[in-house]
Structure formats: C-alpha cells, structure tokens
A and B are shown apart, each in its own frame.
Chain A
Amino acid sequence: MDQGFFLLFAAASVVTALTLVLARNPVHSALALMACFLQISAIFVLLEAPLLAVIQIFVYVGAIMVLFLFVIMMIDVREAVLQRFLPGSNLPVLVLLVLLGVEMLVLVLRSDRFSVAKPVAMRTGGEVRQLSTTLFADYLLPFEVASVILLAALVGAIVLARKEPE
C-alpha cells in the first residue's frame, strides 16, 4: 500500500522534474516544478511529516512559484525560448552528472555508518507539538537567525528590484 503510493508519487515527481529541465517555455517549467513540489509534499505525508508537507505547499507552491510566475509575467521570456541548452558540447557535463549520481548512491548505500535496513519503532501522536517544542526550545537561536536572514532578504529584494533614480 505504502510502497505503491511511494512509487506513484516518485514516478510522477521524476517525470515532472524531467519536464522542468526539458520544457522549452519557462512557464511550462514553472508549472512542472509546481506539480513536482506537490508530489514531494505527498512523499512528506508518507514519511509522517504532515507539518512539513503543509509548509511545502504553502511556501513553495503558494509563495515561491507564484513569485516565479510574477517575474515571468514581468519579463519578456520570448527571446529565451528559442534555444534551450547552452551552446557547445554538453557531453562532459552529462558524464559528470552520471558520475555524481553513482557516487552519491554508492557512498550512501554502501556506507557502514547508516544501517539503512531496519527502521526503528515509530513514535506515537502529538508529533507537531513535540516538533514545535523542539524547534522553539532547543533551536531558538537558529530560528531567530533565520528570521533575521529573511528580513535582510526582504530588504535586499526591495532594494535590488527598485528602479534606480535618474
């Protein structure tokens, strides 16, 4: 049951990710990425992280992708549609990517440090409460730092996107 759902969501997310990389039109890429994020949030639900799934939908699909679509609307994207990939030979990059993937798989799956075989016992109920207690008690300083970073990014984005006075 779980495995079937996982395979479904994983296949859909891989297909939409490929669509993102291969689509000619940036709007199609943005929509494919949105679909991919929805699949990934479904995978978070399978991992019993419902809070993260909701945050994923709110932040990525609701905010970030809408921001992307707004920027696509503001900028004329027609000239960029014509050529999808960088000019020149892309073979070294592809070889590098395959090597990267194989290396990650081998390093993680063959390593002795992760006993990836047997899962530990599942915890019970009240998960979001525990998570937020941990977040706001043990990780309070990183939380505040993240909020300061968000504020700095807000100010920076406004300053960068503003029209410069003549």
Chain B
Amino acid sequence: MVPLWWFIVLGVVLFVIGAAGVLLRRNILVVLMSLELLLNSVNINFIAFGHYYDDFRGQIFAIFVIAITAAEVAVALGILVALARNKSTLKVDEVTMMKG
C-alpha cells in the first residue's frame, strides 16, 4: 500500500518542475508543454485523493481537466501557428505585440 503523501510529493515535484519550465524557458513550444505537465501533476493529486477517500469525484474532475486541456492545447497551438506565420519568432521575450 503506497501512502497518500507519496503521491502528493510526486505531484508537488512535477508541478514545480513544470512551473520552472513555464517561467524559465524561452521557447513557446516548451512553455506550452510544461503547462501540460502542470495540469497532469494536478490530476495525480485529484485521482490520489479520490482513491484514498473512496470518492469518484476525483476521477470525474480529472476527466474534465483532461477535456479542458485538450481544448486549451488546440487553441494555443492555433495561436502559435498564427504567431509563427505573422512574426516568425518562437521566443517568449520577443512577443510583445500586446504592450498597448
């Protein structure tokens, strides 16, 4: 029997790694992939708690998170393709069009 806090520690470690990717990397594609990692680490927590408290809501929430993630990725990659077509850059710090 794996104790619950192992799963929580794994979720926290993956979340911090993903947040590091979001905050530090320069390539927009890698930033988006790190975002996926963030959502997945949260899913681990949902399912672990749902398992240990014998509750289906954890799994159901994880299903919704996966569905919303799919939508988010589709829109984000559409924006990315449009960006690469119009500005031909993939660096986060060079995308400053919305400065106002």
Contact = CB atoms under 8 A, between A and B. Distances in A.
* Chains A and B belong together in one complex: yes
A164 to B, nearest CB: 9
A10 B10 contact: yes
Interface string A117-161: 101111100000011001100010010001001101110111111
A52 B93 CA distance: 36
Contacts of B43: 40, 52, 56
11 contacts: A10-B10, A21-B17, A21-B18, A21-B20, A21-B30, A29-B30, A52-B63, A68-B73, A86-B92, A130-B56, A146-B68
A94 B19 CA distance: 10
Contacts of A33: 33, 36-37
Contacts of B32: 68
Interface residues of B, number: 73
Interface of B: 1-10, 12-21, 23-27, 29-30, 32-34, 36-37, 40, 43-44, 47-54, 56-57, 59-60, 62-64, 66-75, 77-82, 84-85, 89-93
Contacts of A109: 5, 8
Interface residues of A, number: 85
Nearest to B40: A40
The A interface is mostly helix, strand or loop, or mixed, namely: helix
Contact of A21 (B15, B24, B54): B24
Contact of B21 (A21, A40, A135): A21
Contacts of A117: 3-4
Given A20-B30, A123-B54, A134-B60, A60 B36 contact: yes
